[in-house]
């Protein structure tokens, strides 16, 4: 549409309806991001079914309800860090919104939602890491992809992981969640060809320093190609995994 | 020796010297790992053309030459952190090995090397980051993919980045390299759909703390989906980018 | 020159042109011994309309009310980190005091307050940073200057910032507030000529380490001339911006 | 299911339906991990009387009760970080479970429990460290060994420690618990021949940084052979001490 | 000149020399920052006498000479962290370039250079901080402003500072440089009305941690309005001071 | 009692009831510290009127009451970090115990308490530091010395400090308490000859990191001879000051 | 000699040459540690064949030669961090001393050396860790025990480790050496019953922070019972392993 | 009191009892304005025999020689961190200057030097700490006091320390130097009544983090009254010890 406006302006100039000076002024006045940049991006986001994501932490239930309402009208809704109180407030008004209590995620997939190809594995170590792992898995599913959960396969009992070797090798991308020593992404990364996205968690105490130990371990993985997101950032890892899957889909369809 | 023991057991079963149940029990007692696991994995690595990677730092030129010789016989050779002395030692014996002095990488692509689909952009901020960026780019190319370099487009002059907006949006994966405040991956990540792999560098001084500032900035990116590797780990980022591209190729070809 | 003034005074005393008492008073007025120093400085502060600033954190509502009463008598009152309970206690007694709930600032401008020239822009990234940004903006306004707010223009959507390019370039000083990766001051700093004061916030989690990530990023800005204050120190940034504006005013008026 | 496949293969071999070579090949192709690895390990754990250990932190009383029930059926139960509420819930259902309130440990030793040779000393500095020391001591006792407690013998009064020199030299392994400056393991280590396991605690304030000071001190002990576990990890130290004692027992019995 | 090109294009369109479509294509082909953004900025930089700044660290003498040559042609040259070897190489070719060995700065002011109003004080504590202070002072002078140096007035002898109270209060902006405990900016800031820019230095040892102690002290100044730059960043502080002075000049001239 | 055992042994030897060899063996077996070492120290502590000190944090009111009772019987009682609840519990039973609510210290001086020579100044910056300063001052007074309080003389208004220059120079030892940038001990240390004991406080926010900024500043003081204790450790500083004063007293009296 | 003095005193008492009181006084005056404490310990050390250990770092070759000479006379010599220059200087004078260049250890086992029961495994990840691993292994051997080396079995290729499962389970204690992410001790610890001593190394770069990443990972191991020594402290780990083996031997022999 | 003195002076002037010049001089002599303040302080320093101290690090031999010359003329000279090259340069010109190579200190005591009462013990752990300990001891001696050295009495062999118990208790102040785990000040502090000044050293490796471990340990000492100076700051500790001794002397002499 920007192009149309530009073309119209040029036509006006050409036909003498505006002077050169006026055209110059109007050209300068166009916010440059409007040359197709911001707006197209916004439209595409809606068109492609990528929900905008709301972080509930720091917002009142009323604020989240209000945002949810407007987003549902626009076709999709995904909110993270939604505690039970927020969830109930939203679902009272919008009963179709799903609540994933372990992940603390609210999802409304909308009429344009469709299942998409590509499968991610979400792997986690201890049972305390499941909250973060679920945030990743629910995000991947909200984006339309499949998520295979493989929980409680920490490195203390390596056989549990090896027993699922086939699953690990079958998927297109892996999100590996671990707290404490954060060793799981290295071990998993050594077993697979697909990209591995590591999520350190704040699970632990003492010299875990709120997840710093796991974070540093993952950044120093001896397995090349392990990529890391912020501590407890299950949403970010799930989002990144979906970006990889989408890109593969795009490549597949010649996009 | 494992194989001999297995074979003997099977012969015993076949000849009736042991019962099925007893054979089953004895099989369970065998250490599992020797059943060809490592070997198969190794074969696959060679078959798929993924070069094994040698870290030259901490090795003498003679050692690198010796390793290079054996790897070239097996079909591929990629070595990182190769200074000029090492490079000359290797190229004296193996003149076909390419040396990329800025990246400090040695590559010999071998007869099985082939160009593969998929393009990565390697984007960097200051001119001091180019060394790390080149390590990423050369790694991607050694893996068979294309790398488009976009250097010296730091956030201090955002227009330089925006001027290359089309390139950024066209590629399949992005490696974004930055030192100092490490802001570039966030800005780039806000402009593209493809996955972004961020590489903090140790470029800077004072409160950069050897790249810690850039690392933390990238981990805290407000753009969802930015993934981070270790400080100065251009090789790891390039490898990860190639894993994403390979996966896309695999998906495309129905693999 | 001090010596000359002293000598002249002593001569005046000796010759009877001034009385002992008067000489004593004038001596007291000389910098910078106890007896006159603080007072002079204090008088100037009041004369120039710079309110003294009260930090409410760690004080009871009663204590703040008591301080407020005395300061209002002396002509101005500015208090930061004032929660709703404190605000109500103060306003019950001094209903003319304004409360800015988002900034958690109490202001009473007094009869000597006057609008002064100079405009600061207060720019912030995420909506969680607004609290700190408002503290800066309200401080600037309490000092008599104008503050133009430009919120929610984080680097994840760079076009929102660029769309306000003219505003950014028009103002005399900028306060740029950002949490998480703290990239906004670098991007803004690259677009403007005026001085940029960066405020890291503790917004974020995990490897944000309470604002450390944003702080380090801002200190390492690749844009020369970015200046940084403490994490969440909106007041300090607003105060510094006002110092710059006052200085310009002074220069302008030949001060 | 793995077992069925294996059994069928062996039957085929036995009956001549497959050749030895073919059976060998098919065996190699089986994912190795399912050949009883996990199970055997599990059986051994039960057989040797090592209780599995439950971390109560982050679990509801109901969850702990449920786990306790199942573990008691399987013959042993040890749970750490069990507060009074959890303890009461468990003991309501399983009144034979012992609760050690200072250690916050629940133990049910089961019919197979037996006293084993070997004695550990558990030494601690300040009275605030006793909670962690007790966790170590109760763990050692739950493993069947003897624990001699020597508390409140901090380095500020070195004579209290020296007065117990004989005890320190008599035991087979020592767990030394200390917060603040963490000097106790060095002093103890200089007095004994047996291995010393040091446990830093988070007792302290200010520059203790949650136990970091004690942790670093212990890692830098000038006494060779001091080994360190995580801050406040009394359980881990007790477990490690028991591993040493078991190994000695095994060596003694020619195991 | 960008404006001229735009105007010419619009005239061509208006006069029919180019078609609407062609004009549209050419408009799109203009890098958007060229719509007055980057280039104008560049021109203004030159016009206003702001030299572009070269960081010599990490560049060979030959590279610096080459850059210097081109910049001198364009009218100004400022380079920091220039050691003696670099300086000699540059001055051999460009003998008019001034070298400030203590500051390690190279300056060539060019024909357009002019003295500008506004004075900064550069204050430093120990004699080891002078290197950084000089970098700030020389930068300010290269920008056309005056710099009054007040060195070796550390807080250990507060009278040396107080003796210069009049100077401190007279200037328009202050750059305060200190290593070790970094207390000087707080003391100075308490004495003056003008903005204070604090520069921590890496001078010190042990718990100075490369300047971290001074940096943290300055960020936590109890004097409101103290602004901080990176450790050892004398150039950045001088640049920021000049931005403040320029802004005042602009305000003064009604700009 | 040790002495009695020793004496008996020697008598036995003398009388021929034990042989020299046997006496030698029994001497070796005696725990060496019991040769009067611990006990003498303990007696001396009581004799010299140094109260033993109880840290209330982490103890129940009942526990503190019980300890207080026993210590009062032994002649002195000093307890730190005593909140109001603890204080009331103690004073209900022991009404003669003084409570210093700002310092959170409980003191009972006992019959042997006497005023001793020597005066310490306790100097503090902001009003939030008074809590820690009072802990130091009350400790000094409980030890029998005089404490002159000089509060709210932070470096932001250096004249307040200078106005008390005579006091500062008159005392025998100084405890200087400061949070935020921790600059006060350096400024004070530069003005006096007496030893300076610096106490960093956790007052501050953001990059104060719980008092780390002030701690590092004090350790890096450019004034030689400044000594530092732990963050918020007012008691430790007061105790150290008293040790200095006692030593002077001892020297004076020829001790 | 102490013993002689004691004996003489007792004889004097017995023969009436001194009174009981005088003997008592003289006994008290004896430095108490000399009542056999230090010396016995020293004798035992020699008797048990535990070599005293010399740290060569920071000593001149001449100093090490001198120390070596005296220690060889006393029966044993073990020196760590001995570079080639030191080694050659020692071996020129004492040609029987063995030099282990990879471990940088000098050993002379002496006439009293004897092989002792007990075997440790020394396991390491990358080839750069071998230097530290060898220091541990050579230390164990110098103590008389057997060390089985299992190098280059990092977690990136978990099968290499699993292939040696039998070895891992057979030994009495394990020293596990790893740099980078430090995951190896957790994986090994999950496979064995024997105590595991983890050694982080400084191998790595960037966010390894000189071995901090590996250290934190090991301290946070999810496998109970993993014990940790300082970064690069192969000697300490080998020494600790030997203490465990000795204790087992002592237990075995009824000691 | 200041006011009275001022008034009296003015009256004297008015009544002609003093001349204007004399009044001016007496005004100058009043604390603490520029004109008299520094000088008085300076005179006192010389009068009391406290040498000014030169830090040689960062100065050329020529610069140190020049400073030494001027200071020797003024009566005293003390310089720290003087390496052999500097020492030789100084002693060539000023052969009476003593060089203490281990302490790296240069001293010239001058004609006014006199021995003063008071003895400090300087205690250190490992032999690598002696360098720092000597810096403290030589400083104390240069100030005129006695220093008793007690080296190599680390906590690993506590008996060596206890054997010197009488010495430790006899001195007036103690400087305790230790690297690695920094436990020595706590153990010593528990044995003595005199003030203890702790000096952490950078001796150690790995998790010593350049002396941070020892520093934190000392700050967290469980012995009340331990005071700490910067890492490796032997000079500062010696200076502080001398301040304590001087103060005692002053008290003794009724000063």
| DSSP code string of H69-82 | HHHHHHT-EEEES-
The predicted-structure confidence for D161-207, as pLDDT tens digits, reads as follows 877 877 888 899 999 999 999 999 999 998 888 999 999 999 999 99
The predicted-structure confidence for C44-87, as pLDDT tens digits, reads as follows 343 334 656 888 887 889 989 988 888 888 777 899 999 999 99
pLDDT of A158 reads 77
Query: What is the side-by-side strand order in the sheet with A77-80?
Result: A53-55, A77-80, A105-108, A98-100
Whether the CB-CB separation of G194 and G146 falls below 8 Å is answered with: no
* Contact flag G163-B33 (C-beta cutoff 8 Å): yes
Cα distances (angstroms) measured from residue A103 to each of A233, A244, C84, D55, E128: 11, 22, 33, 21, 55
Q: What angle do CA A135, A141, A144 make, to 5 degrees?
A: 145
Q: Which chain B residues are closer than 8 Å to G181 by Cβ?
A: none
pLDDT of E27 reads 63
Query: What residues of chain D have any CB closer than 8 angstroms to a CB in chain G?
Result: 48, 53, 117-118, 172-173, 193-195, 197, 215, 219-220, 224-231, 235-236, 239-240, 242-244, 246-252
Instruction: Calculate how close chain C gets to H3, using CA atoms only, in Å.
Output: 8
Give D11: exposed, middle or buried? Use CB within 10 Å, 0-12, 13-18, 19+: middle
Task: Using the predicted structure, report yes or no on whether residue B36 has a pLDDT greater than 60.
Answer: no
* Contact flag F128-C58 (C-beta cutoff 8 Å): yes
More confident residue, F170 or H25: F170
* Contact flag C159-A33 (C-beta cutoff 8 Å): yes
Residue H64 and residue H67: Cα distance in Å, rounded? Answer: 5
Helix orientation angle between F212-219 and E212-219, rounded to the nearest 10 degrees? 130
Q: What is the interface pTM, i.e. ipTM, of the complex?
A: 0.83
The predicted-structure confidence for H224-246, as pLDDT tens digits, reads as follows 989 999 999 999 999 999 999 99
Check the CA dihedral D77-D82-D87-D93 and report its sign: negative
Q: Inspect the structure and tell me whether chains E and A have 3 or more CB pairs less than 8 Å apart.
A: yes
For residue E159, the chain C residue with the least C-alpha distance is: C32
Task: Using the predicted structure, report yes or no on whether residue G237 has a pLDDT greater than 80.
Answer: yes
Q: Inspect the structure and tell me whether chains H and A have 3 or more CB pairs less than 8 Å apart.
A: no
- Grouping H, G, I as helix, E, B as strand and the rest as coil, residue F228 is strand
Mean pLDDT by 10 residues, chain A (255 residues): 63 80 63 33 40 80 89 84 95 95 92 87 90 96 94 80 82 96 93 93 93 96 93 96 88 59
The predicted-structure confidence for B72-108, as pLDDT tens digits, reads as follows 887 778 999 999 999 999 999 999 999 999 999 999 9
pLDDT in tens, chain H (255 residues): 345 666 777 788 788 888 877 776 666 444 333 322 322 333 334 333 465 688 888 788 998 998 888 888 877 789 999 999 999 999 999 999 999 999 999 999 888 788 999 999 999 987 789 999 999 999 999 999 999 999 988 888 777 787 787 788 889 999 999 999 999 999 999 888 899 999 999 999 999 999 999 999 999 999 998 999 999 999 999 999 999 999 887 766 654
Whether the CB-CB separation of B134 and B100 falls below 8 Å is answered with: yes
The predicted-structure confidence for G161-181, as pLDDT tens digits, reads as follows 877 877 888 899 999 999 999
Residue G18: both structure tokens together:
């001194």
Of E155, E156, E207, the CB nearest to F219: E207
Whether the CB-CB separation of F217 and E217 falls below 8 Å is answered with: yes
Whether the CB-CB separation of G191 and G165 falls below 8 Å is answered with: yes
In the C/H pair of chains, how many CB contacts fall below 8 A?
43
Q: Which chains touch B (3 or more CB pairs under 8 A)?
A: A, C, D, E, G
* Contact flag A163-D38 (C-beta cutoff 8 Å): yes
pLDDT of D144 reads 92
Of C34, C231, C232, the CB nearest to F163: C34
pLDDT of C13 reads 78
> Around A210, how many Cα atoms within 13 Å sit in the side-chain half-sphere?
9
Instruction: Calculate how close chain H gets to C60, using CA atoms only, in Å.
Output: 32
Please give the radius of gyration of chain D, using alpha carbons only, rounded to the nearest integer: 23
* Contact flag D35-B28 (C-beta cutoff 8 Å): yes
Q: Which chain E residues are closer than 8 Å to F155 by Cβ?
A: 155, 183, 186-187, 190, 222-223
Residue showing tokens 């550990």? D120
Instruction: Calculate how close chain G gets to B37, using CA atoms only, in Å.
Output: 7
Residue A200 and residue A186: Cα distance in Å, rounded? Answer: 12
For residue D33, the chain A residue with the least C-alpha distance is: A163
pLDDT of D152 reads 83
Residue A126: both structure tokens together:
């201890």
Q: Which chain F residues are closer than 8 Å to G36 by Cβ?
A: 28
More confident residue, C154 or F163: C154
- Kindly write down the DSSP assignment for every residue of C49-79, as one continuous string: T---EEE-TTS-HHHHHHHHHHHHHHT-EEE
* Contact flag D27-B35 (C-beta cutoff 8 Å): yes
Band of the pLDDT at D50, cuts 50, 70, 90? Answer: low
Of C181, C208, C223, the CB nearest to B156: C223
Q: What angle do CA A45, A194, B41 make, to 5 degrees?
A: 170
Sequence-ordered list of residues with C-beta below 8 angstroms from that of G110, at least 6 positions apart, any chain: G49, G51, G72, G75, G76, G77
pLDDT of E38 reads 30
* Contact flag E207-H202 (C-beta cutoff 8 Å): no
Of E31, E231, E232, the CB nearest to B163: E31
Q: Which chain H residues are closer than 8 Å to G236 by Cβ?
A: none
* Contact flag D248-G246 (C-beta cutoff 8 Å): no
| DSSP-assigned beta bridge partners for residue H121 | H148, H174
Mean pLDDT of F168-175: 93
Of A10, A16, A27, the CB nearest to E6: A27
Residue of B128, B186, B201 to mutate, testing the C interface (most C Cβ within 10 Å of its Cβ): B186
Among A202, C227, E215, F182, which residue's Cα sits nearest to residue B209? E215
Task: Using the predicted structure, report yes or no on whether residue B174 has a pLDDT greater than 50.
Answer: yes
pLDDT of B41 reads 36
For residue H165, the chain G residue with the least C-alpha distance is: G31
| Mean pLDDT estimate for chain F | 83
H32 preceded by cis ω (within 30°)?
yes
Instruction: Calculate how close chain G gets to D11, using CA atoms only, in Å.
Output: 28
| Mean pLDDT estimate for chain E | 83
Q: DSSP label at C157? A: G
Give E229: exposed, middle or buried? Use CB within 10 Å, 0-12, 13-18, 19+: buried
Whether the CB-CB separation of D231 and A206 falls below 8 Å is answered with: yes
- Grouping H, G, I as helix, E, B as strand and the rest as coil, residue B178 is strand
Residue C186: both structure tokens together:
């670098």
pLDDT of C84 reads 95
Q: Which chain C residues are closer than 8 Å to A232 by Cβ?
A: 205-206
Query: What residues of chain B have any CB closer than 8 angstroms to a CB in chain G?
Result: 31-34, 37-38, 41, 58, 200, 202, 210-212, 215, 230-233
Confidence (pTM) = 0.87
pLDDT of H76 reads 79
Q: Which chain H residues are closer than 8 Å to C32 by Cβ?
A: 33
Residue of A125, A206, A212 to mutate, testing the D interface (most D Cβ within 10 Å of its Cβ): A206
Instruction: Calculate how close chain A gets to G3, using CA atoms only, in Å.
Output: 48
Helix (H) or strand (E) segment spanning residue D8: helix D2-14
Residue B52 and residue B79: Cα distance in Å, rounded? Answer: 8
pLDDT of F148 reads 96
Query: What residues of chain C have any CB closer than 8 angstroms to a CB in chain H?
Result: 2-3, 6-7, 10-11, 13-14, 16, 20, 23-24, 27, 31-35
């Amino acid at each position: 549409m920007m192009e149309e406006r530009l073309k119209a302006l040029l036509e006006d100039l050409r036909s003498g309806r505006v002077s050169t000076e006026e055209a110059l002024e109007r050209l300068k006045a166009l916010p440059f991001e409007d040359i197709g940049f911001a707006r197209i991006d916004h439209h595409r986001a809606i068109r492609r079914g990528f929900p905008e994501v709301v972080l509930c932490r720091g917002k009142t239930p009323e604020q989240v309800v209000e945002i949810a309402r407007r987003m549902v009208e626009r076709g999709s809704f995904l909110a993270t860090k939604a505690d039970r109180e927020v969830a109930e407030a939203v679902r009272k008004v919008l009963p179709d919104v799903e609540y994933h209590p372990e992940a603390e995620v609210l999802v409304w997939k909308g009429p344009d939602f469709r299942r998409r190809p590509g499968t991610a594995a979400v792997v986690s170590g201890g049972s305390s890491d499941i909250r973060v792992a679920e945030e990743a898995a629910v995000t991947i599913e909200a984006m339309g992809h499949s998520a295979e959960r493989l929980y409680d396969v920490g490195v203390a009992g390596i056989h549990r992981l090896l027993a699922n070797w086939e699953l690990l090798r079958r998927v297109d991308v892996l999100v590996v969640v671990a707290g404490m020593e954060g060793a799981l992404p290295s071990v998993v990364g050594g077993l697979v060809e697909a990209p591995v996205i590591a999520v350190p968690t704040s699970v632990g105490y003492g010299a875990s320093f709120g997840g710093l130990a796991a974070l540093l371990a993952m950044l120093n993985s001896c397995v090349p190609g392990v990529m890391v997101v912020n501590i407890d950032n299950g949403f970010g890892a799930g989002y990144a995994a979906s970006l990889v899957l989408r890109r593969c889909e795009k490549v597949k369809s010649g996009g």
